[in-house]
Structure formats: structure tokens, C-alpha cells
Structure 1
């Protein structure tokens, strides 16, 4: 005689007696394999996370200012005519040395990423120092010369960029950097025209190279035209 095994019938209308563990997923038993609830790991507030990188940016800028002043003091003490390299260029050099040797520490990266904001703040504060009356005192001839310099620099860089078939945004950055205030203008304009980091890097490298050449060419031109220091 064969034996018939009957299986229990499950009524689909009745709720299941198996329930999910209650509580937040990170506090469930066994969620981490230890059988005990684990606390949620919370990071530091955003403003705290940018503090180390902001301090690093300030330190690099301060080092650039010290380098500029130290060279000027050394030249006056020894009666030497040394090139007047502004602290902005020194800060860029120090930043390149740090990033290409020891690298930017992980704890400082979020703060370092805010460099564009601080640069724009610095440009605004720099503009606050100048009054419209001081600009007018330069005279009509000086203002016309400044306007012509800007126009010629932009036109020349645009023509050269198109001749070498450079991307339009890179041409714009080169034109702005060569005609206004170099690296600072490039970084400030980068966000305005939504240029990528690669174009900005090429433009900064080109402007720095032109600046290095100018350190040796401009003094020769100045002495040839009997200009004062």
C-alpha cells in the first residue's frame, strides 16, 4: 500500500507570519555579521571638511608673499637688480611643487577644491582698493592706451588660436589671460565660460611661459628705450 504525504496548504489571503526585522537597516541584527547593532558613521560638517585645505591654500599664498618680499629685500641689501616676480607666480610654483611631489593630502582635497571661490573673492577685494577717481586721474591718453592694449592682445591671441585650430574656449582663456591679469583672469573666466580643466591648464601653462620669456625680454626693451625701473 502506498503512503500519501499531504503538504500544508497556505492560504494566500492570510498575512505571512514572517516579518522583516524592525528598525533602520544599519541597526538590524546581523547587518554587519557581528549580530550586534552598529552605529551610523557620520562625517564632519561640510564647513569643517574644507578647513584643512583652506589653511593649506593660505599657507601656500603666504609663502609666495614671503618669497617676493625676501627677494626684494635681498636685492636692496646687496644693491642688485633682481626681477620683481609677484607673489602670485611664486604661489603657483609652490603649489605645483607640492602637487607633483608629496601630493595634496586627502584631508585637504575638499578645501583645495574651493580655490576658485577664494580667487574670485581676492579679485573683488583687489578691485575695491581702486577708486574710479584714481582711474580718471590717469588721463585720457593712458586710458586710450589701456583700451588699445586690451583690444590688440585679444585680437592677436584670437588670430593665433584660430591659425593653430585651437578650441574656442581655450582661445578665449588665452586672450583673457594675455590681455588682463594672467593666471588670475584665466581662473576667474574659467567658470564664466564653462571651460574644462584641460583648457585652463593649457592656458595657464602658456601664460606662465610667456611671463618667463618677458622677464628677460622686457628689461632689454626698457633699457633700449631708456625707461626707468
Structure 2
């Protein structure tokens, strides 16, 4: 036990420190960009890894590997505590088919675009998951299931962060011009389906609310994004089955058991939301949100993806070129376009 801790301690400590540094960097970024500490920690880790001497990198490897596997997967399980079916139902059942259309379009189109551009299939899978479902979290969940390289993870993360920020800045103004001003639910639905990462969705909706004085959009966008996030439970096993053989993984071994933990955490959250009432319900939701947010996202996921950064070789990253970003841009346009079309259709079917 002590020998294992001694072996993993330096690398795990480096990942924790890098995650903390990423949070510190994120706090210095303009608030309007709503950039979380997770992508910052990954970039910081990649920079540190490529500046460190070879003997230091070798000493850190056992702990860094632990961060990119066990810690990252624990983070995915914890994130499930933020997901509640009762919130989805509160917005209306039509949110589900709208999310199916948007997510499905990305999962089908992006791997085809990646193949046409000559990208590795695993990178196409990461771009599809990140763009279609929930940005960095989806990439972090999919990567170990398909044996993606750390360079592929880094490229995919950079992609969804860049296009997520672009959508976050542009879509509030698009929504204002294309939807009836009083249609808060479908404006929020569009924003929740079109922007990649959860933090970016919330920033996008908050920007709309502040600019156009419509706080109801924030709740609708959050629930729409929550609905998208639920697809993670089905898509990761699908990607594992599709890419496991080509990655040299047996299908049974490739099935990510941590996804069961993710589903279980979401089930416990849903059951608690139904069972508890009054002050107990408030305390329950605060506790569940702490597990999913502060513990799962800010601590475990940030540490795991800092470890990914500490594993990245810059030469492999440079070799990717511009093609992943062209595919990612096209994929973002497809997912956002289907989200827009779905929300506009629902706006006409159920005007507010």
C-alpha cells in the first residue's frame, strides 16, 4: 500500500496541483467567456509536460496514469448526481425528441466527416461525443472506453472549447432575432441544444437573460442541457462496442462499467428529488449538486483531465493540423442547426 502511494504520489500530486493552477488561470479570464478550470488545467498540464525533463516525466507517469483512469472515471460517476429526470419532465416531454434529433445528427454526421477528412476513427468518435453531448465531460468519458490517445483527447477538448465559446457568444443574438421574444422555453431549448459544454450553456443563457431581461431562459437551457447529458449513458457503451475491436480491446472489457455508476448516481438523484420535500428537498439538492459539481466536476474531472494534459506530447498534437478543427466546426454547425430547427418547430407547435 505504502509502496503504491509512493509510486503514484508524485504524479497524482502534480495532477492535483495542475488542476488547481487551471482553476486559478480560469479565474483570471474574462467573465464573459465563461471558461472553466477544466480546459485550462488540461492546457497547463500539456505545457508543463512538454517543458519538463524526461526523467521528471517518467517519475510522474504512474500517478498521472492513475489520474487519467481511476480519478477521471470517478468524476464521471459523481457528475451523474447532477442529473434528474424530474427536471427534464418539468420542461416538457418534447425536450427529449428535440435532444434526440440534435445529438443523433452529431453522432451520425461527425464520424462521417472525420472519415472523409482522413482523421483517426477514435478522434472522430471523441469529436462526435464532445460536440453532440456535453463537451469535455463526454470526451473524458469516451476516451478510456475506446483507448483514445492523450493527444486525441487534447485535440478534441481544444475543439469543443473553441466552438463552444463561439456559439456561446453568438447564439443569444441569433435566438433573439429568430424566436418570438416571449418564447422563453424554446429559446432556452435552442441554447441548451446548440452549445457544447455545460458551463458554456449556462454562460450563454445568462448572457441572454442579462441582455434581454428574461431569466426564464436560464432554467429552460439548463434542463435542455441536462437532457443532452443523459445520452452519455448510452453513447459511451456504443462507442466502446464500435471502436473497441479496432483499439485491440475485447468488447466485454471495453464496456465502461463506470457508466453504470453514472446511471446509478442519476437514478439516486432522481429518486431523492421525488422523495424529499420542503427543507429536506433543499438540503438534498444542495448535497447532490455538491457531489456532482464541486466534487465531480471541479475536483475529480479537473484532476483527471490535468493528468491528460500531463500526458500530451506536443509533437503529436501539432501533427493533427487543421483538419480536426474543420470537422469540429462543421459538426458544431450541424448540431446547432438541428437544435435551432427543433426549437423553432416546437415554438410553432406550442407557442408561449
**Shorter-chain TM band:** 0.5 to 0.7
Spell out, residue by residue over 1:2-25, the C-alpha distance to the aligned partner (whole angstroms, 9 max, x if none): xxxxxxxxxxxxxxxxxxxxxxxx
2:13 matched residue in structure 1: 55
Q: How does 1:71-86 map to 2 (within 5 A)?
A: 71=29, 75=31, 82-86=32-36
1:211 matched residue in structure 2: 161
Spell out, residue by residue over 1:59-91, the C-alpha distance to the aligned partner (whole angstroms, 9 max, x if none): 11122223334446xx5xxxxxx2100111111
Could you tell me how far apart the structure 2 residues matched to 1:217 and 1:194 are? 29
From the two aligned structures, give the one with the greater helix fraction.
2
Q: More displaced, 126-135 or 110-119?
A: 126-135
2:200 matched residue in structure 1: none
Classify 1:206/1:54 alpha carbon distance in 2 versus 1 (closer, same or farther; 3 Å): closer
With normalisation by structure 2, the TM-score equals: 0.44
How far the C-alpha of 1:148 sits from its partner, in A, is 1.7
Spell out, residue by residue over 1:157-216, the C-alpha distance to the aligned partner (whole angstroms, 9 max, x if none): 022023224343332222112212333323322322234x2xx52353144135324423
2:114 matched residue in structure 1: 161
Task: Mark the structure with the bigger radius of gyration.
Answer: 1
1:170 matched residue in structure 2: 123
Q: More displaced, 174-183 or 113-122?
A: 174-183
Q: Which runs of 5+ in 2 are unaligned?
A: 177-207, 211-352
1:185 alignment partner, one of 138, 149, 158 = 138
RMSD (CA atoms): 2.5
Classify 1:162/1:107 alpha carbon distance in 2 versus 1 (closer, same or farther; 3 Å): closer
2:287 matched residue in structure 1: none
Could you tell me how far apart the structure 2 residues matched to 1:178 and 1:93 are? 19
2:281 matched residue in structure 1: none
1:108 paired with 2:89, answer no
With normalisation by structure 1, the TM-score equals: 0.65
| Maintained 8 Å contact 1:177/1:203 | no
Q: How does 1:1-229 map to 2 (within 5 A)?
A: 45-71=3-29, 75=31, 82-102=32-52, 104-114=56-66, 115-195=68-148, 197=149, 201-202=151-152, 204-226=154-176, 227-228=208-209
Classify 1:66/1:57 alpha carbon distance in 2 versus 1 (closer, same or farther; 3 Å): same
Question: 1 or 2 for the larger relative contact order (CA 8 Å, sep ≥6)?
Answer: 2
Could you tell me how far apart the structure 2 residues matched to 1:129 and 1:215 are? 23
| Maintained 8 Å contact 1:174/1:203 | no
Q: More displaced, 120-129 or 186-195?
A: 186-195
| Maintained 8 Å contact 2:10/2:63 | yes
Could you tell me how far apart the structure 2 residues matched to 1:92 and 1:124 are? 20
Q: Which runs of 5+ in 1 are unaligned?
A: 1-43, 76-81
Could you tell me how far apart the structure 1 residues matched to 2:158 and 2:11 are? 24
Q: 1:179 aligns to what SS in structure 2? A: helix
